[in-house]
Amino acid sequence: MDELELLKKDWQKNDKDYPKLSYNDIYKMILKKSSSIVKWIFIISLLEFVFWGFISFAVKDTESMQRFKSYNAENIMIPLTIIGYAILAYFFYKFFMNYRTISVTDNAKKLMENILKTRRTVKQYVAFNLIFLFISTFVVLGIQFNKDDQIVSMIDKAATNGELFKFYATTILITLLVLGVMILIFLGFYYLIYGILLKRLNKNYRDLKKLEV
């Protein structure tokens, strides 16, 4: 049982050995816990960004990345990358502002609204990452279909044999299967990290509703 649960339990007691805690005492405890949770959401999102930045740096000189650079697809990849970073920056800003807003909230109703807002932001952030992964994968696949000499040769061969549809269908199906596995892994990660934090935030929300009754 955590400190907040002990405080709530003591608050309900009439035993003279326990101090009678006020509504504000319980509220401040919930506020402190909510602020800490939202701060960790902000920190973890930044750490996640740093992690993927490190991965990108680590693989930039690999053979596959060098081959992809030879496709001269910067006119597609650069705008896509800029859009991705811009939206991520927006979410980092939102997480930080959610933390600041919750930290200075002075009433339970407003705190409940800010908790709901934070939950929405996290869900939108997760949805964006998964959608961006999906879009980026098929953009890269489209570039390879047009620029990769080996794949272009396979397409020409399939077209000559009358198996062009089969080639595209097989390639897209395999890509979807691999992408599906990756999305499941990401969902597991997001559930493990952000899901746990959101559960705690939801618990604080329910506690606030009880205080408001």
pLDDT tens across 23-47, in order? 777 788 888 888 999 999 999 999 9
Q: Which of 147, 171, 148 is nearest to 158 (CA)?
A: 171
d(CA 125, CA 90): 10
Q: What is the pLDDT of residue 66?
A: 78
**Of 152 and 68, which is predicted with more confidence?**
152
pLDDT of 18 higher than 50: no
Q: Write down the pTM of the prediction.
A: 0.80
For residue 208, give the amino acid letter. L
* Whole-number Å distance between alpha carbons of 198 and 204: 10
The three-state secondary structure class of 163 is: coil
Residue 7 — pLDDT band, cuts 50, 70, 90? low
64, amino acid identity? S
Residue 61 scores a pLDDT above 60: yes
pLDDT at 6: 53
- The residues near 22 (Cβ < 8 Å, ≥ 6 apart) are none
- Tens-place pLDDT, residues 130-175: 999 999 999 988 888 888 888 888 888 888 888 888 989 999 999 9
